[in-house]
Chains A and B, each alone.
Chain A
Amino acid sequence: MIVTLVRPSFYQDSVVLLALARELRSLPGVTEAAALMATPANRDLLAQSGLGTDEVLSAGPNDLVVAIRAERDDAERARTRAEELLAARRQPRSQGAVHSPRTIEVARRRAPDANVALISVPGSWAAAEARRALELGLHVMLFSDNVAIEDEVRLKRLASSRGLLMMGPDCGTAYLSGVPLGFANVVPRGRVGMVAASGTGLQQVAALLTARGEGLSHAIGVGGRDMGDAVAGLMTLAALDALATDRGTEVVAVIGKPPAPRVRAMIEDRLRALDKPSVMALLGHGVSTGQRDGVTTVSTLEDASLAVIAALGGERWAPRPFSIDPADVRRRVEAARRGDGSQAVAMRGLYSGGTLAHEALSILEPLLGPVASNLVAGAPSRHRVVDLGADEYTAGHAHPMIDPSARLSAIRGAGENPDVGVLLLDVVLGRGAAADPAGDLAPALERARAAALARGSELAIVASVIGTAGDPQGMAAQVSRLEGAGAWLLPSNAQAARAAACLAGGQAVLNRLLATVPA
């Protein structure tokens, strides 16, 4: 027999209706059951199935019909069960479902104690979101790029007027009270406070400090344009003021490209006024290094870490080109060049970190002469340093610290180019970076070296890994994988760039560099 129930204007969601039909079909003696809205199409379906009773066929599209075919007693039991199930119309609200807030206002209400907003939205919306956050009294880390300089100035002025930090735009890394934000290596808390206009620059210094047993109190990113004329160091100065009063900070380091002259003067004034030693790492050509009025100026990221360590120990910092044994450097260079120190070969620097590429360029040019690059317009050259994180490489792709495809393509191209004899790479580890960057690169490096060998030439690979022992990728495993692919691993990007210069430039460069090594 067929029994039917019709519930006029009765609405249950699809999950309930399907479960209802399924349970009815599983009851003893039930051969068919359906729970459908009585639309004309469904009434036809039920009629074709022999379930189209008069009651069903006269129902409307917004009526729920339940139709059951079963033996007489079973049919009645099934109808009773259907009525019970329909009576339990409202399901308990699902527990434990967590929905991300859609607006900063909602996020703020849900986390009233939060005092920092990390914003990562497309550039055209970023300024508006940052303004909302600042108006809610939150410090802002603005990961987004492509924010107009005028908006950056307005946002930073707003932040200054409210005593807040506006980190960014294009701020990739920060550590606030030990909490890592953005791309960040696993580093301990410690005595060093940093202000950085460069994400990967901050990572390199933090990683080198960690390797020497030091840690960070806070590291405040300010965005790459903060020290320029337009922004006039608004956040660099605010961050220095914050670190000045932080009792956990014993030494302060500022990292960036050389600021606009008037901004540099303001920063130096502020550093001299600190009651703590300080280091300025200015990555660029012609930076005059040394110590003056308690401020040590250096020109590489590694030197920044060394100068900080020296300051913590009350010592003077002295630059050195290599931390490894100079004899080992000579041996590696001569072996790679098969004893031929006279002939120069072309070098390719393929970088994922923009600041690391910039640092390499500033080290290579004084040693090799002009080096072409997408970082700055310059004279053509056989040597080239490429920042693969630049817009022209990342349109439609993730950043090369996450997606290796652009670099793999460039490595393949270098391997096929008979002029290229040296590859220079950075490999950045930490939270946010690729799960296994060395594993991504190693097969391509092996193929590139094999291609060079097949035509009777050598392709030397020089690299540095920016990471710490605590990073999720495993520092030792990453180094081992790259060395297995034939790469020469140096302890820092600066040393890797110098090693690449020796390999590309021959004996003259090698001798010049090693001549500066203190006895």
Chain B
Amino acid sequence: MAPAVARRLSASTAWSGRVHSVFDRTVNALGSDGRLLTLQGPGLLSAPFAIALEGPPPGEIEPGASVERIGGRLDVGGIAVDWRRAQPIDLSIGTGSDLAGLAAALHRVPPSLGAPALCSARALEARRAVRDGIARDDAERFAVGALALIGLGEGLTPAGDDCLVGILAVLRSARPHFLTRHPGLAGTIAGAAQVGTTIVAREFLRHALDGDFSEALVALVRASSCVAARDAAERLTRMGATSGADTLTGTRLALDALRPR
């Protein structure tokens, strides 16, 4: 399970909410605190707010069903999920790596087909602004691009948000002070996400601003060899229809912006 979820559940004995959305392998629960918790099937944690179950989520769970913490268990629409012995998976990205090796490795990975909206005029302008902002250490320019990406494009997590998460993962590792040195930048992004995108995308962005990401993205940024980077990139691009590919687009964009010129 994601450590952030463990912290949230451990912090409150009265956590409750409702089932927000139900998919083939995923159930999202929206807590009364406004935060999401994802129950997913086995495999890599698809979100930094997920718990992986031993099998697919039960098919009878419906949107709107109540979710409640009862002792060490979560009652999700009448189905008990015991999270107490779940193994925490570190989903944070450490700081202080220049990621030059990752950039070189990704040069050898062919680009994946992402969401069409990321190639719209609006998205291309936003991507340019983000790239310029990082390259010139210009927070205002970065913010212009980041805010234009929020909520933009196809998907339950719109492609622009996925792209921004990929950008934030690289910044977290290679330029950790970019956000902290520019007071208000993180708050501006979080505020824009609050009203500008879906609940699911907003949750991803909030965690990304805190330095937590999906397991596939963490593996990519932590990859210690070309082979590991290629494998991690392939795993990432298998996420969603284009979500993984859009995240990889953001990763490449930020790595390119950091390249010495």
Contacts and interface: CB of A to CB of B under 8 A. Distances in A.
The residue in A14, A42, A91 that gathers the most chain B C-beta atoms within 10 A of its C-beta is A14
Given A94-B24, A99-B41, A37 B155 contact: yes
Contacts of A45: 117, 120, 122, 152-153
Given A93-B56, A99-B41, A109-B54, A18 B158 contact: no
Contacts of A106: 42, 54
A13 interface: yes
A364 interface: no
A295 B221 CA distance: 56
B240 interface: yes
Interface string B189-200: 000000111111
B148 A41 contact: yes
Contacts of B148: 41
B183 interface: no
Q: B151, B199, B243 — which one has the most chain A CB atoms within 10 A of its CB?
A: B151
Interface residues of A, number: 34
Given A41-B160, A90-B24, A396-B224, A17 B196 contact: no
Nearest to A101: B42
A42 B148 CA distance: 11
Interface in B221-256: 224-225, 240-243
Contacts, number: 117
Chain B CB within 10 A, most for which of A11, A39, A45, A92: A39
Contact of B198 (A39, A103, A109, A396): A39
Contacts of A91: 23-24
Contact of B151 (A12, A14, A40, A102): A40
A11 B21 contact: yes
A7 to B, nearest CB: 12
Interface string A82-107: 00000000111110000111110110
B173 interface: no
A41 B24 contact: no
A15 B25 CA distance: 13
A41 B151 contact: yes
A360 interface: no
Contact of B195 (A61, A94, A99): A61
Interface of B: 20-26, 28, 41-43, 52, 54, 56, 59, 63, 85, 87, 89, 115, 117, 120, 122, 148-158, 160, 195-200, 224-225, 240-243
Interface of A: 11-15, 17-19, 21, 35-37, 39-42, 44-45, 61-62, 90-94, 99-103, 105-106, 109, 396
